């Protein structure tokens, strides 16, 4: 129940659970001396202290109080999953990591290259799985595409954070430092009529102004299409509310 975690927001809780406590379980950098990355267990209070020492930025949105609430929330979440015989995407990723860790790669076909879209939802654990699917000599042959404005799971995503995660995981996987290319912004839309893209640019411009971000206007290869502006009245609001409550 939300009232049990008065200092912890919903999005904040899911970020802490999915991205940190679960998503970092394969990273030896944030594990204690017992090596929980090999035990395949999720992080706990000991590992949070290690993160505070090594990378405070990951916990910049958490103070001492809501860190404790985060750990309790995760414990309750784990109990709820177990009681209902459920598993989430990080459970699936952790089982995949364990399977690949135990696998004899001599009998397993590895990839030369990997291309991944929607990387804004990628956790450290999921990226390490992708690295395991690449041939050792092709460790850097991975191209990621993503849009922070299309984030489904709050992952603390930013391109600078993603580069740091890639650099850390590549170094630990290869045993040596690796260069990570800077992100390239894509600005040409191939599927949306130009006048709709122009309308979208107005909203993007306002957003970048208030967020104090660099502007990145989009262009389109398609001719103008029909642009409709729908006025939502009280009748529509009632229908939408009933639809959302179903």
DSSP of the chain: -GGG-TT--HHHHHIIIIIIIITTTT-GGGS-TT-HHHHT----HHHHHHHHHH-GGGGTT--HHHHHHHHHHHHHHHHHHHHTT---HHHHHHHHHHHHHHS-GGGSPPBS-EEES-GGG--HHHHHHHHHTB-GGGTT-EEE---GGG-SS-----HHHHHHHHHHHHHHHHSS----PPP----EEEEEEHHHHHHHHHHHHHHHHHHT------EEEEPP---------HHHHHHHHHHHH-
208: confidence class by pLDDT, cuts 50, 70, 90: confident
Report helix, strand or coil for 44.
coil
Please state the pTM of the whole predicted model. Answer: 0.80
The predicted pLDDT at position 167 comes to: 78
Structure tokens at 113: 């290259």
How far, in Å, CA of 246 to CA of 243, rounded? 5
pLDDT digits (tens, 9 = 90+) for 172-203: 777 777 777 778 888 999 999 999 999 899 98
Q: What is the overall mean pLDDT for the chain?
A: 84
Question: Angle at the Cα of 38 (from 36 to 44), degrees rounded to 5?
Answer: 15
Report helix, strand or coil for 244.
helix
71: confidence class by pLDDT, cuts 50, 70, 90: very high
164: confidence class by pLDDT, cuts 50, 70, 90: confident
β-pair partners for 101: none
Q: How many residues does the chain have?
A: 246
pLDDT digits (tens, 9 = 90+) for 14-37: 999 999 999 999 888 776 555 455
């Amino acid at each position: 129940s939300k009232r049990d975690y008065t200092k912890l927001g919903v999005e904040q809780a899911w970020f802490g659970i999915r991205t940190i406590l679960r998503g970092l379980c394969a990273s030896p950098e944030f594990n204690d001396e017992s090596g929980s990355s090999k035990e395949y267990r999720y992080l706990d209070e000991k590992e949070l202290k290690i993160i505070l020492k090594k990378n405070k930025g990951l916990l910049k949105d958490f103070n001492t109080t809501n860190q404790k609430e985060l750990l309790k929330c995760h414990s309750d979440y784990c109990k709820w999953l177990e009681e209902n015989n459920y598993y989430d995407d990080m459970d699936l990723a952790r089982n995949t990591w364990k399977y690949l860790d135990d696998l004899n790669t001599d009998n397993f076909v590895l990839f030369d290259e990997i291309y991944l879209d929607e990387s804004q939802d990628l956790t450290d654990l999921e990226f390490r799985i992708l690295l395991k699917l690449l041939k050792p000599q092709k460790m850097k042959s991975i191209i990621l595409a993503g849009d922070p404005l299309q984030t489904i799971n709050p992952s603390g995503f930013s391109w600078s954070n993603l580069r740091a995660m890639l650099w850390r995981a590549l170094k630990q996987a290869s045993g040596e430092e690796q260069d990570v290319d800077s992100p390239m912004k894509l600005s040409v839309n191939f599927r949306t009529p130009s006048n709709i893209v122009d309308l979208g640019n107005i909203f993007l411009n306002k957003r970048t102004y208030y967020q104090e971000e660099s502007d990145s206007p989009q262009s389109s290869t398609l001719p103008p299409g029909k642009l409709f502006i729908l006025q939502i009245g009280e009748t529509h609001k009632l229908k939408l509310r009933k639809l959302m409550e179903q």
